[in-house]
């Protein structure tokens, strides 16, 4: 994401939501249409992904167009200054790296969670439907991990993300092209 390129703050919410500071999901993107499509993909196990599957009255709106990513991050940070606000999991304005304090808060929030019998059955069925990896895939995975090519941190616009997936949460699926054109790099 070019820091001088127009960047948008967007809000994904239910039609009954009225408070952007506490409801729905707030994000930033320099390509909001593409980012919306990325959010809509299946198998998204985030709070937002679950909400998109559950509710049929979802509204996607551009809140503000800004002159650069830094300005957009500042607005996002003002709307999501802490973890677990609305459907956002991490705080706004840079996300990516979670401090030990945030990890502890998330762990504490999840501690003691009890799933209903129906949830447990659904999780079991989901696991049974997953295809088992082939021997060839297992071998490639072992080689990758053995050679130290597991999750690598990635640097984008001066912000370090612990993995490609963490960066995709902020920037959408454009990471591959960012790596190619040099705006992102693995550390």
Total structural domains in the chain? 1
Average pLDDT over residues 47-59: 88
pLDDT for the residue 131? 66
Confidence tier at 28 by pLDDT (50, 70, 90) = very high
Phi-psi category of residue 82: left, alpha or beta, with phi > 0 → left and psi -120 to 50 → alpha: beta
pLDDT for the residue 88? 87
Distance CA 26, CA 9 (A): 7
pLDDT at 140 over 80: no
In a domain, 12, yes or no: yes
Could you report the per-residue pLDDT of 153-186, keeping only the tens digit for each? Answer: 788 877 777 777 677 777 776 777 777 777 888 7
Residues spanned by the domain of 57: 7-110+149-186
In a domain, 126, yes or no: no
In a domain, 94, yes or no: yes
DSSP structural state of residue 174: G
């Amino acid at each position: 994401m070019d820091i001088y390129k127009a960047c948008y703050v967007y809000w994904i919410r239910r039609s009954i939501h009225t408070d952007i500071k506490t409801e729905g999901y707030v994000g930033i993107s320099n390509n909001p249409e593409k980012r919306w499509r990325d959010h809509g993909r299946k198998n998204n196990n985030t709070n937002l992904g679950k909400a998109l599957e559950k509710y049929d009255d979802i509204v996607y709106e551009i809140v503000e167009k800004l002159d650069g990513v830094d300005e957009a991050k500042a607005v996002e940070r003002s709307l999501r200054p802490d973890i677990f606000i609305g459907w956002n999991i991490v705080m706004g304005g840079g996300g990516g790296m979670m401090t030990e304090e945030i990890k502890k808060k998330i762990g504490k929030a999840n501690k003691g969670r009890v799933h209903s019998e129906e949830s447990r059955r659904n999780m079991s069925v989901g696991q049974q439907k997953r295809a088992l990896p082939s021997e060839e895939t297992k071998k490639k995975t072992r080689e990758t991990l053995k050679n130290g090519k597991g999750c690598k941190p990635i640097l984008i616009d001066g912000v370090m993300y612990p993995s490609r997936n963490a960066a995709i949460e902020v920037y959408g699926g454009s990471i591959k092209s960012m790596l190619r054109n040099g705006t992102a790099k693995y550390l």
